[in-house]
Structure formats: C-alpha cells, structure tokens
C-alpha cells in the first residue's frame, strides 16, 4: 500500500510540473530575440553584442575625443542612416540620400544633427553605443526594438526585453563631434561665424548673450517707432551653413527653390509694442508667439533700416527645432528690412 501511495504522489507531482510548463508565460520579446540572434548569426557572424543587447555589425574607430558617458559629454553631433534588416535605407540626414529616396524637400535641413544623451532624452540603445566611440568613428548597429522605443532606463538588458516593445532597425552613424557644454558650443560657433561674415566684428559686439545685430543700411530717420503703430517688414531666414529656409520675399523664395504656391508673399505687418516699451509685446503678423531673438532684433530697428541679426538657439527654437527645416540647437541668421506699407 505504501508503494502505491508513493507512485501516486510521484505521478501527481509530474502532472503538476507538466501543468506548470504548459502555463509558463512567454516573454514579451522572446521570439524577437531568437529571430535577431539567428539573423545576426547568418548575416554577421562576427558581430559582438553590447551590454544591453544591441549588435555591433561594423565598427570603424575614430581618432578624436572619446564620447564617454552622458555626464561627461551630454550632447553628440552625428550623421546617420536608418536601414531595415533587408538593407533598404529608410531615412538619412544626407541630401543626396534623400534625393535617391525621393523624399528630398528643399526647405529641409540636411547635415549633422545634435542629440542629447542621458535618461529621458536618448533611447538607451543609442546612448550605450556612443560610450566607447571616438570622434570620426563610424558604427553600424542593429538595435532591438526594446532598446529603441523608450527613453526610460532600466538596469539590465532583461528588464528592457521584458517591458518594452518596438521595431528593430539598423543604424549607421558617424560621430562628428562631442559636446560637453551646448551653450558654449553654440555661442562659440556664432562668434566664429560673426568674425568670418562681418569683418572687424567679434564677440565684443554682442548686444546680449549669444545675440548680435549689425545695421547694413542706415535708417531714413533715427526716431523710434510710436507705441502701438504698425510697420512692415521683409525678412530672409537662413542657418549658419548658408541655407535659406524661409522668406516673405517672392523672388528670394524662387531663387532658393523654396517658393510655395500655398502661401502669400510680401511685407509682413508688425504691430509695435505698447507704451510699456517691452520688445516682447511686438506682434509678428498673425503669429500667436514669436522667438525672442527675432523680436529683440526688431526692437533695434528704425524706419527703412536694414540689418542682420545672428543669435544662438537659446533665443530661437532651442532643443525643439522647428519642423524639418531647423534642427535642434540651431543658431539663426535673419536679414531684416523695414519697408513702406505695400
């Protein structure tokens, strides 16, 4: 009888274990992980994995400064291409590649972009990849979707795999520069630009931090505009690489291939500030808000004056940029002309 009970207990235990095996949950990305491992084994058997689980497919070391941690270099400047696992290019910051893909837009910016690193800023698959890279280096990285689709940081690779879903992609990027202090990097860039474009001018000519205004045509009179009056303005906006990205002058738009049949061209009405004298009250056309650097530049002007304002992104679009035309942390160059009412 004791032998029969023992056999029964063993059978029940086996049955329970079998049931446990049947109800064991499959991890969120278990199947995707197996597929990526197999894909790499077939297509890039020499690839190595990072600590979090990305796959370094190709690596050409640079000779410049090392990126290190996000604490030491919180910003990086990069060129990049995004590819599918099949090798098709999905996106790139190259003008030539955009033309090949049929996605080229003459109003867009093409060239190196600035990414902020660290928690809440850059996907962990990227942030980790930069740590041991040097400026000038190029790396091709297969980043699993669970390391691409979140800015949240976990401690282990398994936590990402179990908690985040997303589409995997191959990123090919070149580390153009590392930036320990973004404000200094920008204002230094603006200072060099001013010295090159305006002979005899230097950082000493800054009217406030990161801002310069140079008169290029004398005003018809030196009187300030009356409070609450309306004046009219022609403008041309360009990046420091010379690319014109916006203007209200029809011929200029056509010349730089940014003319749009969907907008009106001609001088824009500017409602001057009230009796308080605050330049921040100036209203540009029908815009609900306007960047600080532009309004401050207008406040320097007088009737029929022409001038150029150059300022860092802290007075512009900061980390947000603006659409596809103005990338994050972009200094701006405005050519401005006060004109008669059209």
Identify the structural domains of the chain with CATH numbers, from first to last.
30-180 (3.10.50.40), 183-339 (3.10.50.40)
Among 128, 148, 156, smallest CA distance to 56 is for 128
Query: CA quadruple 58, 63, 64, 68: dihedral positive or negative?
Result: positive
CB 227, CB 272: distance < 8 Å: yes
pLDDT value of residue 25: 53
pLDDT value of residue 26: 64
pLDDT value of residue 150: 87
pLDDT value of residue 12: 31
* Low-confidence residues of the chain: pLDDT under 50: 1-24
- 237: Cβ–Cβ under 8 A, 6 or more apart, which residues? 244, 245, 246, 247, 332, 333, 334
């Amino acid at each position: 009888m004791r032998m029969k009970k023992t056999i029964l207990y063993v059978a029940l235990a086996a049955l329970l274990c079998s049931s446990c095996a049947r109800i064991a949950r499959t991890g969120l990305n278990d199947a995707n992980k197996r597929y990526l491992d197999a894909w790499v084994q077939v297509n890039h058997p020499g690839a190595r994995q990072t600590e979090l689980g990305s796959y370094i497919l190709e690596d050409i070391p640079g000779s410049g400064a090392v990126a290190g941690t996000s604490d030491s270099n919180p910003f990086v400047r990069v060129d990049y291409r995004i590819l599918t696992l099949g090798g098709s290019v999905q996106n790139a910051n190259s003008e030539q590649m955009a033309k090949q893909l049929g996605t080229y837009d003459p109003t867009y910016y093409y060239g190196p972009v600035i990414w902020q690193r660290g928690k809440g800023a850059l996907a962990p698959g990227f942030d980790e990849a930069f740590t041991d890279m040097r400026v000038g280096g190029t790396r091709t990285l297969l980043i699993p979707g669970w390391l691409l689709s979140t800015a949240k940081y976990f401690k282990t690779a398994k936590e990402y795999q179990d908690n985040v879903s997303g589409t995997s992609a191959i990123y090919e990027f070149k580390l153009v520069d590392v930036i320990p202090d973004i404000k200094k990097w920008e204002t230094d860039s603006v200072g060099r630009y001013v010295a090159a474009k305006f002979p005899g001018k230097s950082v000493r000519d800054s009217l406030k931090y990161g801002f310069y205004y140079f008169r290029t045509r004398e005003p018809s009179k030196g009187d300030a505009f009356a409070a609450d009056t309306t004046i009219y303005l022609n403008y041309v906006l360009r990046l420091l690489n010379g690319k014109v990205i916006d203007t209200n002058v029809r011929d200029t738009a056509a010349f730089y291939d940014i003319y749009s049949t969907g907008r009106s061209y001609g001088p824009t009405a500017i409602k001057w500030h009230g009796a308080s004298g605050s330049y921040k009250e100036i209203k540009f056309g029908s815009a609900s808000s306007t960047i600080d650097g532009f309004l401050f530049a207008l406040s320097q002007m007088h009737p029929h004056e022409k001038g150029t304002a150059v300022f860092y992104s802290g007075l512009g679009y900061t980390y947000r940029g603006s659409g596809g035309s103005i990338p994050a942390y972009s200094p701006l160059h405005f050519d401005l002309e006060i004109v008669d009412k059209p």
